[in-house]
Structure 1
Amino acid sequence: MNLLASLAKKSFSWNRSVPSTFLWNPSPIPAAESDASQNSAVMACVFWAMRNAGRATFYVEQNGEQTPHPLTDLLQKPQSKLNPDDRVNLSGREFIGALTYSRLLDGNAYAHKIRNADGLLIALEWIPHTAIQPVPSPHRANQLDSYRLATPAGQIQVPREDILHDRDGLDPAHPALGISRLKSVARHIQTDNQVAAYSQTILSNPIPSLIVSAKSESTRVTQEDAEFIAGKVREATSRDRAGGIIVPTFPAEITPVGFKPDDLAISHLNKLPEERISAVLGIPAVVAGLGAGLDRATYSNIKEAREAATEEFLIPLWQDLADTFTDQLLSEFGNSDGLKVSFSQDRR
């Protein structure tokens, strides 16, 4: 099962009703995560990141050399020790991709530490960031007390030590949480979505505004006639009948009073949001296949952009994840002195 199928399957297993308002709202227009997850420029970058994040192999090392350790096996096969009926078929690559998905959209990624009857860690299960709510400590602003997990049976309280919590930076307003990079481009995301919605409207209704008037003063058009004519014009020119023919039964003059899409330079309106979105995510537009980068793309600079994406996005991501695994997972297997999680890049 590929990662996208796994995410789709998981969406039916968790209650995703926990509100997610990660986007800063600088205007009366509501800004929510759905604005980002339904934006093609954002998701082009996110899907690229998910595909490529799994190109790293995580392992435990001691004194700079890889050493056999159960955590290495766990990260490569997060659920191999579970009964087959309890698994969600999440491979190590898919697990890293899922963490990357949540990290980019929310700034926080979560996994449930699954334990056996003796309390020993035996598996990891990704939790959608929309299905979990961190509970802050009443004593320290930069510490969490527990997590509220939304399940089909209702919300349950999960102890902090049973959740793997990876953060992207720190949110100054909530120091115990990471911060979504998309906050700073909330307006650009909404602008891009509005451009897409406007384009759809123009294509569905190719004549955005008309004046239909009698050509001679001797022709009288009543209010009832006007409403009938307007309905017929819409019916003959909208949606599946776009480009249809209008044949008035009286001497008529039809005057367009709307704007053509070319007059609004819609393609140029898309470019700025694409550039800003790719910039804050740290993924060059050309690598994600966005038009803002493709119009200047050549073979040589595409190769350079891929190398830059690896250096500026993937390697820092892998290092952050390795640090999170070191801090929150190594101690589950006893004495971790002198040990740390590291990674090697898969060149395939």
Structure 2
Amino acid sequence: MDSRSAWTQLLALGDQPDDEFDDDAAGRLVHLLQQRGESVVLEWTLPALTDPNPWRREAAAWVLGELGYEQGRPFGDQVMPALVRAARSESVADTRQEMVSAIGSAEDPAWVPELLSYADDDAPEVRETVARLLPGMFAGDDLSAEAVAALVTLTRDVDPGVRDWATFGLGVQSTIDDDVIRNALADRLEDDGGDTRFEAVLGLARRGDARALSALRHRLDDEQPTICLLDIEAAAELADPALLATLRRLAESWAADDVDDDPHSAALAYAIERSEPGTHLLAAAAQTALARDVNLDLVDIGWSITVVDDYPRTVLVIRRPDGSAYTAYGETRLWEHDTPTRFDADKQVALWTATVRGVAATDEPQ
């Protein structure tokens, strides 16, 4: 199918009654147009952003959001200003949501202020879009103070979907840690909307907050607990022996129900392994030896790694010869996806030695 036909068919879908609209067909056509990333598509979609027909405006925004994504979105200088103008004047909530989604799909911090301007939009679907896409706008970097403040506010939104995405973005997608974030997450531990309460406990667990342990023990000790995979992941994050008896009871119950092969059972086994009392001693010895051996291998260049905090939240920091942290590499959590019982010391020493030598060779003089 050529692109012109795809665009024509996409617009024609808007003529169908709402209860007959084919979302799958629309998605396929949009994907085809985005993937090809042809400049001629701009000739059809940019004018359509101001078409009297709301569906045509929505379809145009949908296509423009990730037009040419395989080529790095080459039309951003034309697309983004047009989307911003269109969204600011859009009165139909569903269409405005699609335009705001297209702005958020840029994944460019330069457009964060524009996305944030919709954090208090009257339409919950628009606010949900802000909460869903805001973390991705930072392309892996830390959220700005303004973004954090917006997400904190959105965790208290009246709409459960908004709270769900905001809690996920703040607690799980972001690693920033302060009392404001922790308290916002703690306020959602009893939220009954979507996965919000589970995302809240995982976010607190990743930060080592004691309220995560208390909430998990309360939920998992229930006679008929509602078990979410996020709760098991939170237990693995905490790696606290205080949860061990409860986790083992769950494992025994699931084994009796013959559900050994499901993802929950595998995650539960991992959480149990990380929570065994002896793992803390094994981790302390392993991470001390790792830093010692890597630093011996790096003595000729003067670079080093240092161990910060303890299992399960141990962080490795690369340091220059003057002792300053090499922040461009970031902080790496040693036990993020590992357990002390499976730790391959030789492999880790080789990996970290090679990594530090690599960054040392490319580091710009300060």
TM bucket, shorter chain: under 0.3
**Higher normalized contact order (CA 8 Å, seq sep 6+, divided by chain length):** 1
Superposition TM-score, scaled by structure 2 size:
0.22
CA radius of gyration, larger in: 1
Q: Which has the higher strand share?
A: 1
Q: Which has the higher helix share?
A: 2
